[in-house]
Structure 1
Amino acid sequence: MIDLFSGLDAWVVVSLVLALAFVLTFEFINGFHDTANAVATVIYTKAMPPQLAVLLSGIFNFLGVLLGGVGVAYAIVHLLPVELLINVNTGHGLAMVFSLLAAAITWNLGTWYFGIPASSSHTLIGSILGVGLANALINNIPLADGVNWQKAIDIGASLVFSPLVGFAVSALLLLGLKWWRPLSKMHKTPDQRRQVDDKKHPPFWNRLVLVISAMTVSFVHGSNDGQKGIGLIMLVLIGIVPAQFVLDLSSTTYQIERTRDATLHLSQFYQRNNDVLGEFLALGKAKDNDLPERFSCNPEQTEPTINALLRTLNGVADYHSLPPESRIEVRRYLLCLDDTAKKVSKLPALGAREKADLDKLRKDLTTTTEYAPFWVIFAVALALGLGTMIGWKRVVLTIGEKIGKQGMTYAQGMSAQITTTLAIGVANVWALPVSTTHILSSGVAGTMIANKSGLQGGTVRNILLAWVLTLPATVALAAGLFWLASKALA
């Protein structure tokens, strides 16, 4: 990590430090903003003392980030169009990163201050979309190309449907528990438990399930939300110090050979499907010297891009042996080939088996571009874990008492937490970012309906308003900040 600052101008070093600090601040805020949801039920039901619950939640968030991989991280990164990712420079990168982070942090702090369970995922995604759209307007790019809309639609669908799943599954799970054990003490609220049984804590088995499910929610929260911070830091590093981070310089010879082989096999794949793809990719028409001076991703330039990449990687066993300019070119080629392959895989004329083969080739192509150094993962894990340990009280009260007209029972807490763990776990498998806040709060609301407790209109209205307004507010804020930053740099 010390080599990170070697050979950089003073202003770049200061900018880099500030950008990294902004990302870690966002993750720190994410910790005490979102993780309150993970510990809300276990604290409210008196299953664990608040200090112990928050400490253990912080530890499990930390572990979740360390072990969660980088799939969600690059799902976030690829919300930006490939053109913006391959042609970013230091000044542009700084404007992009500071704009989206300032917008995300501002909205997160505002909703936390008012105790509204808003989503850090929505906040970050809205900020990234705002930067992409503003960049399109500034550079006279069609808005259709300003954002990776297919990725945005996939992520948007996961963010919209996951709370609905949380609501329905939590309600059904509670109804199942009431059918199975209708007279169980798990259907009491903490106040009823104290008044009727003169007990402060839940029954043993209910308490155990509440504790375990709270920690699993913390773990999957770390593995999903923590990756967003990892993706942001990689955006910072690639944008400000591209020579060191456009490719994984620790890649083994085998990984580089795997990338080279995937490129060769991709060329063979296209030739094999020439009758279907020939016109779309202009196979046999483009020449190697047709690549434009300002590189852009055009499916009709696929053959020259493949040939240029194979020439650059010929005989390379260690990325350190490539000059910085060549590393940047290799990343551009790989991102562009991956983007084109993704478009090709959606063509209706291509068969299911060919699409599966193409997906495998795409994974091999991105082996050395979709990565994160261990120190990045550790720093984000630490920031998220420490943030978890403060600021939880405001949202705990909202989750426990202000969603339903009655207090939350132990069974409701278990149902909401188990559902949240499963929903985020499935999202992690598919590398989709989801909102812990929305899944858990909607899960609690679902159990309130199933328990015939009713909902508090004011709180539900505030949560829905935050859900609806977060995207447009952060899009507008980030776009405005990016426009101002770009004008200042012009």
Structure 2
Amino acid sequence: MEIALVVLVVALALAFDYTNGFHDAANAIATSVSTRALTPRAALIMAAAMNFIGALLGTEVAETIATQIVAFDLSDSEHAHVALVAILAALIGAIVWNLITWWRGLPSSSTHALIGGLVGAGIAGSFMVKWDAVVDKVVLPMIFSPLVGFSLAFLLMVGVLWLFRNSAPAKTFRRFRAAQTVSAAAMALGHGLQDAQKTMGVIFLALLTAGWAEREDGIPLWVKLAAAAAISAGTYSGGWRIMRTLGRRIIELDPARGFVAESVAAGVLYTTAFWLHAPISTTHTITSAIMGVGATKRVSAVRWGVAGNIATAWVLTIPAAAAVAALTYFLLSLVLL
């Protein structure tokens, strides 16, 4: 039974990674596509390739997911079996919420859906949730990363506007449109660095639970490659519904603002991954950066009603995914426990 559960967890984790890819594809490329710096197909190919590379650049975020959210009791085979069922329920909760928000065209956080799933399933399975780590690694970054993204994007955009105040608009926009190829690639690299690692962390957690891996040995290479391939495939399949929201419904972007938003979001993703080891939301970061550059036009240029709907999805993601995961755990326990 344990073998079947581990295989099922790995398969669902990769399915979640795939949904993460098409759900969050817009994070990296929506601004570039909306400003016509890249064609949609070229942008998707670039994003998929950079996602794959980014996924292989580190494991710090994956280890946070695997070891610092829920303390699964692995003292004997019975507890390990229950832990595997809880991990399975967590993945189902995250996938269901991802699909709901994707269908609604809302750029919610796949990261927080997964973490909410782990917390909900952990509570339902009577495992200890590490609330201090959840606050430090999830809640505080969830609050501050959008604020930092908005503020930095606003200030940097003000600087760009001042620096190019006497430049010819057409020539300046052409240059920024070319520069967006680089900033979009950087954003896609950061997306792979952050989001693919979360799937690695769940698979690693399942392997640790089953006794098929040792924490000291780190994440196996096949897990890294599988997670990288899954998120890249999902990214290439596209996320057109959410792309429209990020690229046009929040604000009509020009190439300069698109470049600044992508650059700031990529910088925040790298900082939190390599320095804080915190699994932050790429969705929250790029969306807040887009709002920041948009606010430099005028406050009313940002469609705050759309932004409010997105913020509502942000707030609901962790508790909603946790509720679905808890319900799934109770249903699975009737069959598997």
Partner of residue 75, structure 1: 64
Alignment partner, residue 323 of structure 2: 476
1:58 aligns with 2:40: no
Q: Residue type matched to 2:228 in 1?
A: A
SS in structure 1 at match of 2:280: coil
- 246, 266, 270: which one pairs with 1:421? 266
Partner of 2:186: 216
Determine helix, strand or coil for the equivalent of 1:389. helix
Check whether the contact 1:121–1:435 (CA below 8 A) recurs between aligned residues.
yes
Gap regions ≥5 residues in structure 2: none
State the TM-score, normalized to the length of structure 2.
0.93
CA–CA distance in structure 2, aligned partners of residues 396 and 87 of structure 1: 46
User: Aligned ranges for residues 219-298 of structure 1 at < 5 Å?
Assistant: 219-239=189-209, 241-242=210-211, 244-245=212-213, 247=214
CA distance change for structure 1 residues 87 and 207 in 2, over 3 Å: closer, same or farther? farther
Matched letter for residue 54 of structure 2: G
Q: Distance in 1 between matches of 2:76 and 2:158?
A: 54
Does residue 409 in structure 1 map to residue 288 in structure 2?
Answer: no
Check if 1:23 corresponds to 2:21: no
Is 1:152 aligned to residue 134 of structure 2?
yes
Counterpart Cα distance in 2 of 1:467 and 1:412: 23
SS at match of 1:92: helix
Distance 1:58 1:106 in 2: 23
Match of 1:283 in 2: none
In the alignment, which of 24, 36, 54 is matched to residue 46 of structure 1?
A: 36
- CA-CA distance at 1:168 after TM superposition: 0.7
Q: What is the alpha-carbon distance in structure 2 between the residues aligned to residue 182 and residue 87 of structure 1?
A: 67
The residue identity in structure 1 corresponding to 2:201 is G
Using the TM superposition, give the Cα deviation of residue 454 of structure 1 relative to its aligned residue in structure 2, in angstroms.
2.3
Distance 2:23 2:15 in 1: 12
Say whether the 8 Å CA contact 2:22–2:235 is kept in structure 1: yes
Distance 1:391 1:22 in 2: 20
What's the TM-score once normalised by structure 1's chain length?
0.65
Deviation for aligned residue 1:78:
2.5
From the CA coordinates, give the structure whose radius of gyration is larger: 1
Matched with 2:152 is 169
Match of 1:393 in 2: 240
The one of 420, 439, 449 equivalent to 2:295 is 449
Match of 1:182, SS state, is: coil
Partner of residue 94, structure 1: 84
- Alignment counterpart, residue 73 of structure 2, candidates 84, 87, 90: 84
The residue aligned with 1:302 is: none
Are 2:73 and 2:80, in contact at CA under 8 Å, matched by a contact in 1? no
Q: Structure 1 residue 393: deviation in Å?
A: 1.5
What are the ranges of 5 or more consecutive residues in structure 1 without an aligned counterpart? 1-10, 187-192, 249-367
Asked if the contact 2:109/2:281 (under 8 Å) is kept, the reply is: yes
**Percent identity, aligned pairs only?**
35
Matched letter for residue 408 of structure 1: L
Provide the residue aligned with 2:285 in structure 1: 439
Paired position in structure 2 for 1:372: 219
Please give the root-mean-square deviation of Cα atoms over the aligned residues, in Å: 2.0
The structure with the greater share of residues assigned to helix is: 2
Q: 1:181 to 1:231 in 2, by over 3 A?
A: same
Instruction: Check conservation: 1:45, 1:202, Cα contact below 8 A.
Output: no
How many residues matched?
A: 333
